């Protein structure tokens, strides 16, 4: 009987690909690896397959190595590429490079690994959508949309971000309109617009900024409204010395009220020294997962209701040049940031009628736009996600949502916890699906660590090391 184990990874973006690469690096005996990717044979995923070369990374180059134990890997790769020589200067580590350059980097890593496989690794790459998993006695069978089912001993769900949920408005029929773009990452959201028309962007974060960049880049000269409940606008990255004074005060047991007062005190302190408050957020980041893991459910709910948006503004910042580009559009009246609640969207005579209840005066504001783009951020409640794989696994109880409905319930190492609260013997997850468990589970600096650890975990589960040592 063939007892070589099969590990299948569903999703071949950054997380799936880096888990695969770490499995190849760490395996010491025969293993079947399968990578299933819905759209193409590229590890770029949503973030690094962007259609616009002006969409930049929101993490500086120095922190974007794909490998946790080779921190200069990305920087050295850039330096080795004559095409990118214009970026090579003393500022390179702090530069926010175009995201499609990072896509090129991932393509090269991926191709070099799969073209130089160790003999004992059997790799199968399938371009297809996984739509279901049937559990059998010995493992699981992955059901694919267009190909034969596939047996696996262990399965990793590396599915990335889901398109944003529709906002709550008076009449949902608007969401069938061709004036509405629910997916803000596709280039169609910014194409075929009248030059002097107007656009409403729902959401005021980094994806809004990407869309504004693309619209203006395409020659759009009209007015862009962007609305979010608070109307916060992303802050700018600043070069400054790390602030670490807060760290020694951060230790368990963590409580949100205590943390909040420590935070406030330190923010006051840094402001008095002429440093901006984001320095405190940056200082706390290495501890965020530890803090989140030990907060009570009530405290997590309090964080989500009162602090989440402020945290987001301080945490997800813009490169300086893009920040000033946006401020310039704001000062010219071409971009208006509105704090308020979206009430109504209705298509009337080929235009969209918008009603917003403004935060500043609680009054209703009405205007007309040509198009609406949803930039509210990825949908996270898996009980409502209308994708075959997610809804089938959810219906079978093989996955369930975490207590905050931010992703899949799991152990911090990615082992899935099923609906009946038992630990799944074969399902694992990684990346943004772990947001409810780890909170900080979004960007390359933490995802590369997860990929390495998960590969180690899978290998120990499938006994690939001990066999060699016997
Ligand atoms: C627009 C954007 C910009 C970002 N910019 C940065 C940045 O500058 N720096 C940073 O560190 N992080 C950034 N991020 C965070 C980003 O989420 C991570 O860096 C990383 O790309 C996430 O990788 P992933 O594998 O989880 O998701 P993805 O890269 O999106 O990959 C998921 C893959 O799974 C496939 N898939 C999904 N379902 C199925 C299925 N049922 N069957 C088969 N295949 C399936 C998808 O087709 C996709 O290829 C950005 C995110 C977004 C959305």
CB 36 near ligand 1, within 6 Å: yes
CB 389 near ligand 1, within 6 Å: yes
Weakly modelled stretches of the chain, pLDDT under 70: 1-2, 463-470
Q: What is the pLDDT of residue 281?
A: 85
Q: How far apart are CA 425 and CA 5, in angstroms?
A: 14
- The helix or strand, by DSSP H or E, that contains position 454, with its residue range, turns out to be helix 444-461
Q: Which atom of ligand 1 is nearest to the CA of 390?
A: 41
Q: What is the pLDDT of residue 46?
A: 96
Q: Which atom of ligand 1 is nearest to the CA of 432?
A: 26
Q: Which atom of ligand 1 is nearest to the CA of 57?
A: 8
Q: Would strands 31-37 and 6-10 be described as parallel, antiparallel, or unpaired?
A: parallel
Structure letter (DSSP) for residue 246: T
- The helix or strand, by DSSP H or E, that contains position 352, with its residue range, turns out to be strand 351-358
Kindly give the distance from the C-alpha atom of residue 13 to the centroid of ligand 1, in angstroms, as a whole number: 5
Q: How far apart are CA 201 and CA 354, in angstroms?
A: 11
For 63-207, where are the E strands, in sequence order? 121-127, 130-135, 140-144, 150-152, 154-157, 180-181, 198-202
Kindly give the distance from the C-alpha atom of residue 29 to the centroid of ligand 1, in angstroms, as a whole number: 30
Token pair 């694919």: residue: 144
Q: What is the pLDDT of residue 310?
A: 82
Residue nearest to atom 3 of ligand 1 (CA): 47
CB 288 near ligand 1, within 6 Å: no
The residue to mutate among 47, 208, 399, 444, having the most atoms of ligand 1 within 8 angstroms of its beta carbon, is 47
Strand order in the sheet with 140-144: 130-135, 140-144, 150-152
Q: What is the pLDDT of residues 369-379, one digit of tens each?
A: 999 999 999 99
Q: What is the pLDDT of residue 112?
A: 97
CB 37 near ligand 1, within 6 Å: yes
Burial status of residue 123 (CB atoms within 10 A of its CB: 0-12, 13-18, 19 or more) = middle
The residue to mutate among 161, 378, 406, 429, having the most atoms of ligand 1 within 8 angstroms of its beta carbon, is 161
Q: Which atom of ligand 1 is nearest to the CA of 58?
A: 8
Q: What is the pLDDT of residue 163?
A: 97
CB 184 near ligand 1, within 6 Å: no
For 186-306, where are the E strands, in sequence order? 198-202, 223-228
Q: Which two tokens stand for residue 344?
A: 């109504």
Whether the CB-CB separation of 182 and 374 falls below 8 Å is answered with: yes
Q: Which atom of ligand 1 is nearest to the CA of 431?
A: 26
Whether the CB-CB separation of 464 and 27 falls below 8 Å is answered with: yes
Estimate to the nearest angstrom the gap between the alpha carbon of 347 and the chain centroid: 31
CB-based burial, 193-219: b 16+ in 10 Å, e otherwise: beeebbbbbbbbbbbbbbbbbbbbeee
CB 442 near ligand 1, within 6 Å: yes
Burial status of residue 144 (CB atoms within 10 A of its CB: 0-12, 13-18, 19 or more) = middle
CB 432 near ligand 1, within 6 Å: yes
Kindly give the distance from the C-alpha atom of residue 265 to the centroid of ligand 1, in angstroms, as a whole number: 36
Q: What is the pLDDT of residue 468?
A: 38
Number of H helices, E strands in the chain: 15, 16
Kindly give the distance from the C-alpha atom of residue 45 to the centroid of ligand 1, in angstroms, as a whole number: 5
Q: Which two tokens stand for residue 221?
A: 């000269």
Kindly give the distance from the C-alpha atom of residue 58 to the centroid of ligand 1, in angstroms, as a whole number: 14
Kindly give the distance from the C-alpha atom of residue 127 to the centroid of ligand 1, in angstroms, as a whole number: 16
Q: What is the pLDDT of residues 413-444, one digit of tens each?
A: 999 999 999 999 999 999 999 999 999 999 99
Q: How far apart are CA 44 and CA 13, in angstroms?
A: 6
Residue nearest to atom 27 of ligand 1 (CA): 160
CB 130 near ligand 1, within 6 Å: yes
- Nearest 5°: phi and psi at 34? -130, 130
Domains along the sequence of the chain with CATH: 6-162+380-469 (3.50.50.60), 172-235+318-374 (3.50.50.60), 247-315 (no CATH)
Closest CA to 157 of 426, 456, 405, 446: 426
Q: What is the pLDDT of residue 463?
A: 61
Q: How far apart are CA 212 and CA 52, in angstroms?
A: 12
Q: What is the pLDDT of residue 427?
A: 96
CB 40 near ligand 1, within 6 Å: no
CB 45 near ligand 1, within 6 Å: yes
CB-based burial, 353-370: b 16+ in 10 Å, e otherwise: ebbbeeeeeeeeeebebb
């Amino acid at each position: 009987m063939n007892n070589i184990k099969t590990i299948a990874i569903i999703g071949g973006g950054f997380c799936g690909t880096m888990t695969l690469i770490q499995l190849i690096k760490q395996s010491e005996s025969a293993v079947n690896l399968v990578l299933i990717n819905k759209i193409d044979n590229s590890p770029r995923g949503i973030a690094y397959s962007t259609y616009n070369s002006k969409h930049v990374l929101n993490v500086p180059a120095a922190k974007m190595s794909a490998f946790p134990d080779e921190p200069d890997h990305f920087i050295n790769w850039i330096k080795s590429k004559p095409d990118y020589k214009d970026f090579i200067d003393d500022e390179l580590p702090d530069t926010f490079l175009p995201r499609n350059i990072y896509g090129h980097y991932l393509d090269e890593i991926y191709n070099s690994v799969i073209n130089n496989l160790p003999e004992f690794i059997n790799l199968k790459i399938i371009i297809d959508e996984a739509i279901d998993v049937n559990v059998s006695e010995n493992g699981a069978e992955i059901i694919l949309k267009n190909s034969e089912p596939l047996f696996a001993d262990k399965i990793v769900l590396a599915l990335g971000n889901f398109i944003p949920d529709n906002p709550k408005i008076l009449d949902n029929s608007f969401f069938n309109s061709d004036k509405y773009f629910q997916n803000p990452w596709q280039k169609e959201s910014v194409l075929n617009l009248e030059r002097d028309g107007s656009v409403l962007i729902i959401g005021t974060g980094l994806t809004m900024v990407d869309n504004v960049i693309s619209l203006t880049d395409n020659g759009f000269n009209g007015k862009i409204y962007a609305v979010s409940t608070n109307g916060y606008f992303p802050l700018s990255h600043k070069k400054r010395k790390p602030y670490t004074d807060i760290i020694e005060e951060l230790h368990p047991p963590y409580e949100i009220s205590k943390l909040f007062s420590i935070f406030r005190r330190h923010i006051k302190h840094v402001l008095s020294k002429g440093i901006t408050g984001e320095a405190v957020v940056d200082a706390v980041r290495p501890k965020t997962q530890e803090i989140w893991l030990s907060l009570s459910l009530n405290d997590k709910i309090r964080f989500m209701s009162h602090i989440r948006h402020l945290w987001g503004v301080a945490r997800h910042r813009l490169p300086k040049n893009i920040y000033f580009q946006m401020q310039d559009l704001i000062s010219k009246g071409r971009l208006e940031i509105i704090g308020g609640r979206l009430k109504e969207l209705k298509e009337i005579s080929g235009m969209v009628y918008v009603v917003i209840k403004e935060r500043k005066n609680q009054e209703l504001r009405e205007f007309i736009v040509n198009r609406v783009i949803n930039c509210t951020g990825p949908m996270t409640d898996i009980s409502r996600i209308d994708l075959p794989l997610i809804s089938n696994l959810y219906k079978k109880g093989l996955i369930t949502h975490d207590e905050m409905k931010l992703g899949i319930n799991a152990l911090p190492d990615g082992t899935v916890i099923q609906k009946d609260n038992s630990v799944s013997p074969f399902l694992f997850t990684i990346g943004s699906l772990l947001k409810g468990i780890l909170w900080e589970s979004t960007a390359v600096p933490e995802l590369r660590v997860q990929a390495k650890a998960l590969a180690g975990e899978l290998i120990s589960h499938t006994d690939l090391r001990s066999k060699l040592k016997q």
